Amino acid sequence: MVVTGLGTVNPIGLGVDDTWKQARAGVSGVGPITLFDTTEFTTKIAGEVRGLDLDSYLPRRDYRRMDRSAQFFWVATAQAMADAGLAYTEDDPAADRAGVLIGSGIGGITTTQAEMDVLRERGPGRVSPLAITKIISNMGAGLVSIDFHLFGPNSCTVTACAASANAIGDATEIIKRDDADVMVAGGTEAGICEFALAGFSNAKAVSTRNDDPQGASRPFDRHRDGFVMGEGAAVLILEEYEHAKGRGAEVYAEVLGYGMSSDGYHITLPRPGGAGAAKAMQRSLDNAGLAAADIDYINAHGTSTVANDVTETQAIKTVFGDAARSVPISSTKSMTGHLLGGAGAIESLMCLLAIRDEVVPPTINYTTPDPECDLDYVPNEAREVTVRRAMTNSFGFGGHNVALIFGSV
């Protein structure tokens, strides 16, 4: 399985080139929330997608029928399909061998909130007939399947912050079992709304560094105080190698490994010591037929929460042993914020570009080392590194752990 196309919209870029330029430069996309009034909230910052011109992609009547999360996924898919040089018509036999798999943690939660307000304030007769189709997490995949004529497998993973990593891994398995030649795979999230922010705030999960938005997401730093909500989408075009070769497609990298595990411990907290995360990482290595020393870069889950960053560090030490001290590790959530269900996809994209350009993006805002997080987190500046194989980690509420490995072709 190889990757032949990429697309993304996120807080630091409205396309792949812009995103990568900003990531390499260590630019933060976090700022004051503009999507709603935060007066009564303890957290007033997030990584919003700003400046996206939907009119350049879709007729207004179409995108107004979509939740914001589906809009992001549609745009990222359009970019990725164009990048891969793929287009299908309704009567194209190849369309039956092309599918889509989306990951989203909370789907159309902004629509849920808005329509619940309508129900309570104006009565059931005023709830939109499109409410359900905008709320359900799988609708991004459904809309992409319709509009891009993808008539193969069409599905959705909902595993919290591991959702889009699962989507990419599961899509490779679909191709492996010969149910498709091409899969549009990735994830999306648009959860920056009053309801979600209140829930995360009251769970003490998000940063309250409101006076320093761009410095708020600080994975592995001793003074981290929670994650920063982000939004956006990223899409990878996965393709069977001979199929890609046969049509002369350019290849970013190969998908080498996919590993999963469950913490089986707590609804939000990771298992102390990182045993569950370590199992997912080791299983991805086993799936790829690699040793830990073969990995040249780790894009960490690195949420900037006290518990996650410590347990992920411990998990890396468990799996990598002595090599843990030498492998460069970075968390691009320091720049994008946490895209929740879309995190695994945008971070997979970062790995692919690191392989292509032999540059590892930094962990910004790393100023004070934490004795419990004592590895090489590529602090504050990108680094030129020969990256032949890269691993990315995604861990979700409920104990869902996923690790993916990509390698140069």
Catalytic residues: 161, 301, 338
CB 11 within 8 A of CB 231: yes
Residue type, 52: L
Q: Where does 248-373 have alpha helices with state H?
A: 275-288, 306-320, 333-336, 343-357
Collapsing DSSP states into helix, strand and coil, what is residue 202?
helix
Burial of residue 219 (number of CB atoms within 10 Å: 0-12, 13-18, 19+): buried
Residue type, 356: R
Q: Which helix (H) or strand (E) holds 116?
A: helix 109-122
Quick one: angle between helices 306-320 and 275-288, nearest 10? 40
The structure tokens 């981290």 sit at 224
CB 387 within 8 A of CB 296: yes
**Which residues face 370 on adjacent strands?**
373
Token reading at 100: 């889509």
Q: In what order do the strands lie in the sheet with 182-189?
A: 154-157, 98-103, 182-189, 232-239, 2-9, 253-262, 400-407, 389-396, 297-299, 329-330
> Can you tell me the distance from the alpha carbon of 254 to that of 268, in angstroms, rounded to the nearest whole number?
32
Token reading at 262: 């469950």
Which one-letter DSSP state was computed for residue 181?
Answer: S
